[in-house]
Amino acid sequence: MNNYLFTKIRQQFERQVIADIEQTVAEQIHPSKVRFKPGARIAIAAGSRGIANIARITKAVADAVKAQGAEPFIVPAMGSHGGATGEGQREILASYGITAEAMGCPIRSSMEVVEIDRGSLELPLFMDKHAYESDGVILVNRIKPHTAFHGDYESGLIKMSIIGLGKERLASEIHRYGVYGLKTLMPEAGKRILATGKVVLGVGIVENAYDETAIIEALTPAEIVAREPQLLNTAKQMMPRLPLEEIDVLVVDQIGKNISGSGMDPNVIGRMRIRGAQSSESPSVKVIIITDLTDVSHGNACGIGLADVTTRRLRDKIDWDATYKNGVTSGFFEHFMLPIVAATDRQAFDWGIRASHDPHKPKKIVRIKDTLHVSELYVSPAALAEVKDRVEIIGEPVNLFDDQDSLIAF
């Protein structure tokens, strides 16, 4: 048994935040920016990510469309998520509070797509049938670093126009090309989609390190192409980071699709595990333990393969059909492989310590709730000694485990 007393600490990040979500959206989607004809049927594309205030933002977009006399409806734009079924994707939106009743407009969820002229592109293009048959599409998505590659366009509006609105058909097509498909083909395909005129507006969201809404900007198609890389750089500057460069064992309480497209963000943990993609140089983590899966992830355990040790509790929550549907579509099989499974949190911890090797060296161990929330964390004595001059200590040293060998509440 390894016995460590852990200290809870707090690190500070930049905290730009929008005070009034609804007012900001209304000001951004002003008739001076975009005009909707009375009676026009406008499709609002909503994704599967756990974006802060996403229900409020989506409803505010719908209200702004109504204010001009147009008729909004919502379409899921989430590729193969939700088990690649219309009902599964509707359920994901509902888990975020996006329902017809709450939004005040219909939700039209289907996996049916329409093929679009690809021009000189080497892959076919598709768009959600409901969105294609509308009078205009508004993309609503967070702009952030991608979990599988880095480029001018990563996770954001361009990606949603292709992998989101293209449903399983286009998500599967572009992922066949691996990192090349995402980094090189996706931007070109996105620009082709924007050139069709079907997309009339994009609402880009940037979050701060505390999982709060920092920026909301409504962008015309031309502005999406020019502005998204700039907002991506801002998002990179705002993203949360672990306070140590080298970590022996990282304990992550939970993973899930609502936390990251990869269950836990490789940009935070410093581990990509994708052929052809280079992991971040910092932090360097020897062993990663994950102990649970969020309920909002609906059994999709994407990202479990980024860990070295997990628990039976997490394993028993996995819906392998939904997980493999996402995994096979993405082509990044490494993210979906089951690591060694421990009976309890304490056993997972002990196995992780053993796998970090060098038994005579004090271990730098960090525990976080998830990769969206790293402002407060638990650290071992060796880790505390390295960071104590630049963090706030907010608790006395404690044992991480209760009498049932489970992690104590965060």
Q: Looking at 291-364, which runs of residues are DSSP E strands? A: 309-311, 340-342
Q: Answer whether 0.85 is exceeded by the pTM.
A: no
Structure-token match 């819906």, residue found: 319
The residue ranges of DSSP E strands in 227-372, in sequence order, are 246-252, 284-290, 309-311, 340-342, 365-368
| Residue 274, helix vs strand vs coil | coil
Residue 80 has a pLDDT of 86
Question: Which single residue is written with the structure tokens 């204010």?
Answer: 67
Give the model's confidence band at 277: pLDDT under 50 very low, under 70 low, under 90 confident, else very high.
low
Domain boundaries, the chain: 5-12+241-399, 31-238
- pLDDT of 378 above 90: yes
CB-CB neighbours of 399 under 10 Å: 10
Integer-rounded Cα radius of gyration of the chain: 22
Task: Supply the pLDDT for residue 48.
Answer: 81
Q: What is the mean pLDDT of residues 61-82?
A: 95
Phi, psi of 249 (to 5 degrees): -135, 130
Whose tokens are 């020897």? That residue is: 286
Q: Tell me the per-residue pLDDT of 201-250, one tens digit each, with 9 for 90 and over.
A: 999 999 999 989 999 999 999 999 999 999 999 999 999 999 999 999 99
74 neighbors 320 (Cβ within 8 angstroms): no
Q: How far apart are CA 172 and CA 176, in angstroms?
A: 6
Is pLDDT above 60 for 254? yes
Q: CA angle 203-166-124, nearest 5°?
A: 130
Give the per-residue pLDDT at 278.
63
Tokens, residue 24: 């900001």
Per the structure block, which two tokens stand in for 175? 């992922």
Q: Is the peptide bond before 283 cis (omega within 30 degrees of 0)?
A: yes
Per-residue confidence (pLDDT) for residue 33, from 0 to 100: 87
Calculate mean pLDDT across residues 238-263.
93
Q: How far apart are CA 292 and CA 253, in angstroms?
A: 6
What CATH class has 31-238?
Answer: alpha beta
What pLDDT band is residue 2 in, cutting at 50, 70 and 90? low
